Structure 1
């Protein structure tokens, strides 16, 4: 490789290492930081953001990019990713990047307190400040284009709001029709029993290992909102427990393990480079959702989990593997996106996508957000929001300035549907493995076809290379119709 290319990669590796340190500050804030430290942490986050921004717009990068020669596909991808990041960062003033980091750090804690106290008014001023800063950033990046597209591009490169909106519009009728048909049928069985936290966490750890999570390069902690953090040799996850709903813990863990395994399985040669992380949040979400749903909630795997649940907790109020499968996949009315069943989950995402687009465009004000949320929820789900923590305060994303993030959850489901169809074709006898709690062949296929590539290919290209076709909503909708049609007899 040319000297310019090597110098550029050395510089970028240092920047990526510092970015991982900044990420660790965020992990600590979510899991272990004392409440009284928030103002100092905001300053620390702001300082790190300033250092990182300065490195990302360092004029030497532009010179190296002009001189560097890509001698293979990996080098070409590195240069593409570095050039994209440099172009975006160069459009954002340093003071703005620092202000966003400070404001979102403070807003996160304000949101957590407001959520605990069911006090929307206490959060709205912080949200307004974050939104104003993120609008300013998006406008700087977008120029004359749609600022929301600039926000979305940060999480799903090359996607546009128009493309996503068209896909979501095609999904909605079949999702609503399936939901309405299932609602007309008898409810699924429910768990009954005693589910101590220590036992939940022990079985959660067992599930993480069953899905291939390397605890030698990770750890499992608790957080209000489960998440995965880090890449390469240090990838951490969090989960949460509920004394009456152990599935909240187990499937949050499996979900975050999907994210973590993506990061852990990326080719080690890409460590601390732009290719050393997941290529997009949509592809990332495809891994967490296929681990959680198509594998973890499958008839075969739930048969194994049924035995482990009874071994761990004794009587759980479910008499058979078939009833347990229906219980795990029960379609129930609920407020919380992260706890939603597969049939209704994407409807929660569509609601947020439309509302945040309206916020960014100015068609919806922060002061009117709660009423707009409640009206839309009632229209989409047929019942009223009962309290703010079940409505506009339930998600952490807007407090952290993550506008454009929500649609990637539904894109991840679409990608997972495509990957699952291809996986089943590649491993037609997979259920025999899953019935033993063995996910090895499934996770190996995902590792080899998706995860190891990291950022080498563009998001839609990753899915197309793995499946042989461009991503579309069809496989996901067909999977949902078949699975829930069989469970509910519709």
Structure 2
């Protein structure tokens, strides 16, 4: 590599770092808004966030970025795969951002902050009308952005590309239809079995401090570094955020009458956090120091939460620890406990849904988002459509807005196109499991001994170390030798629940 090229790469990385620093500042503000900030701070902090977003916009759309793009386009033959991917992402980000007027970019960021606060109030009061005007603004912004960006096929494809590059509604419709049919088939078998696992012992009183202690025990075994490179806080809607790979934070929410909720949200968010902590230092300043996509990210969190965290091997190790710590499980056999952890019942709340029916919650949101973006329904009709789809797909109907249309924060912060990532994560995770079991024949035996490091090491070596170098479709093919398919997830569900029920 010649000296001019080396110098130019250093300049580019230095410039990208400036953008990352601004994003980190915005992320700190967002985290603090949700975890610490007083209610009256919303307006001022929203203005600050809007200002910072304006600075990000300037950095991402500057003439300097265009010069970088032009220069590196002329030397592509001399670049390695990391730099080729960096330039590809830089170019996509530049042109995508450039199409949005500066004032609208700032206003949108500010409105997202205000909208999030409105959503919190609306959810607490179970009143959609409080949130409705803000959601209309956020939706209108997203519709405008879609038209600015342009799209092929369905308008929703423009939003999907932000979270899952390369995926389309046409592809998702097929995958989700297969997934839905597979889930409904297993669900019907469960209904016919006549077996109902016990879950009453999970609803006893579990002091918050004891839940926190047990969750930390599990997170430590997973190798999430929450002591020196992260932290655990409380928020009503658990999430993970990071400011580089040395500061990756998670939140959870403790319900004293439910052993499972905070524990599984910790395992889920821990999966996200481990991914971010494993991103190599050398990817800093490349735009690739993050997960490959939100679907791949969700594959890590949902893999740990469900495929590992609800497995028999996992609880062979942790059940004795749970019995030692919680007298509430006295007299509960291992089989009763394991079956209870995997209890299936269609329910209203996505984050509390069982492993089997969870993806139906996502498919509902995906279908609603498509309708909103394509003007097939209005925000005013949203609660009615939401309730109808829950009745159709899950046989349950919300009795209020908090357990219905207001249960998720994603639309409040403008994350249209994100929801499909959760269901895609289930598909990726099952496909990764199939390959992992071939590579580690004694996987279950290792998990039973509490050796979760074998899982962490495999994921680090096969997925985490690449950051966002590869697009999702490239990564799944690289890791498993196959394109993404729904068959492994459906087979996994049928096998697992067939044994329990």
The partner residue of 1:264 within 277, 287, 290 is 277
CA shift for structure 1 position 144: 6.7
Counterpart check, 1:325 vs 2:334: no
Aligned ranges for residues 151-230 of structure 1 at < 5 Å? 151-184=159-192, 185-192=194-201, 193-215=204-226, 216-230=228-242
Aligned ranges for residues 411-426 of structure 1 at < 5 Å? 411-426=424-439
Aligned ranges for residues 282-297 of structure 1 at < 5 Å? 282-297=295-310
* Contact map agreement 1:232 1:271 (CA 8 A) in 2: no
CA distance in 1, matches of 2:168, 2:53: 27
CA distance in 1, matches of 2:168, 2:101: 24
CA distance in 2, matches of 1:24, 1:167: 36
Moved more, 53-62 or 138-147: 138-147
Aligned ranges for residues 29-428 of structure 1 at < 5 Å? 29-68=33-72, 69=75, 70-142=78-150, 146-184=154-192, 185-192=194-201, 193-215=204-226, 216-230=228-242, 231-316=244-329, 319-428=332-441
Counterpart check, 1:483 vs 2:491: no
* Contact map agreement 1:318 1:324 (CA 8 A) in 2: no
CA distance in 2, matches of 1:126, 1:317: 49
CA distance in 2, matches of 1:14, 1:233: 17
1:454 aligned partner: 467
Distance change >3 Å, CA 143–CA 209, structure 1 → 2: same
CA shift for structure 1 position 58: 0.7
The partner residue of 1:12 within 7, 12, 16 is 16
CA distance in 1, matches of 2:152, 2:263: 46
Write the deviation string for residues 350-380 of structure 1: whole angstroms up to 9, x where unpaired: 0000001100111010000000000111011
CA distance in 2, matches of 1:375, 1:29: 33
SS at match of 2:31: helix
* Contact map agreement 1:212 1:440 (CA 8 A) in 2: yes
Write the deviation string for residues 275-329 of structure 1: whole angstroms up to 9, x where unpaired: 1001100000000011111111110101222112111111326622221111111
SS at match of 2:79: coil
Structure 2: unaligned runs, 5 residues or longer: none
CA distance in 2, matches of 1:38, 1:317: 47
* Contact map agreement 1:450 1:463 (CA 8 A) in 2: no
What TM-score does the superposition give when structure 2 sets the normalisation length?
A: 0.95
Write the deviation string for residues 239-258 of structure 1: whole angstroms up to 9, x where unpaired: 11111112111110010011
CA distance in 2, matches of 1:143, 1:331: 39
The partner residue of 1:28 within 16, 27, 32 is 32
* Contact map agreement 2:295 2:422 (CA 8 A) in 1: yes
SS at match of 1:343: coil
Moved more, 276-285 or 2-11: 2-11
CA shift for structure 1 position 191: 4.3
* Contact map agreement 1:191 1:317 (CA 8 A) in 2: no
CA distance in 2, matches of 1:201, 1:318: 23
CA distance in 2, matches of 1:308, 1:96: 53
* Contact map agreement 1:190 1:318 (CA 8 A) in 2: no
What TM-score does the superposition give when structure 1 sets the normalisation length?
A: 0.97
CA distance in 1, matches of 2:393, 2:453: 39
Write the deviation string for residues 187-209 of structure 1: whole angstroms up to 9, x where unpaired: 11114233000111111111111
Distance change >3 Å, CA 204–CA 282, structure 1 → 2: same
Moved more, 39-48 or 67-76: 67-76
SS at match of 2:451: coil
CA distance in 1, matches of 2:110, 2:445: 51
SS at match of 2:250: strand
* Contact map agreement 1:189 1:326 (CA 8 A) in 2: yes
CA distance in 1, matches of 2:170, 2:484: 16
The partner residue of 1:440 within 453, 462, 466 is 453
SS at match of 2:106: helix
CA distance in 2, matches of 1:247, 1:296: 11
Task: Give the aligned length.
Answer: 488
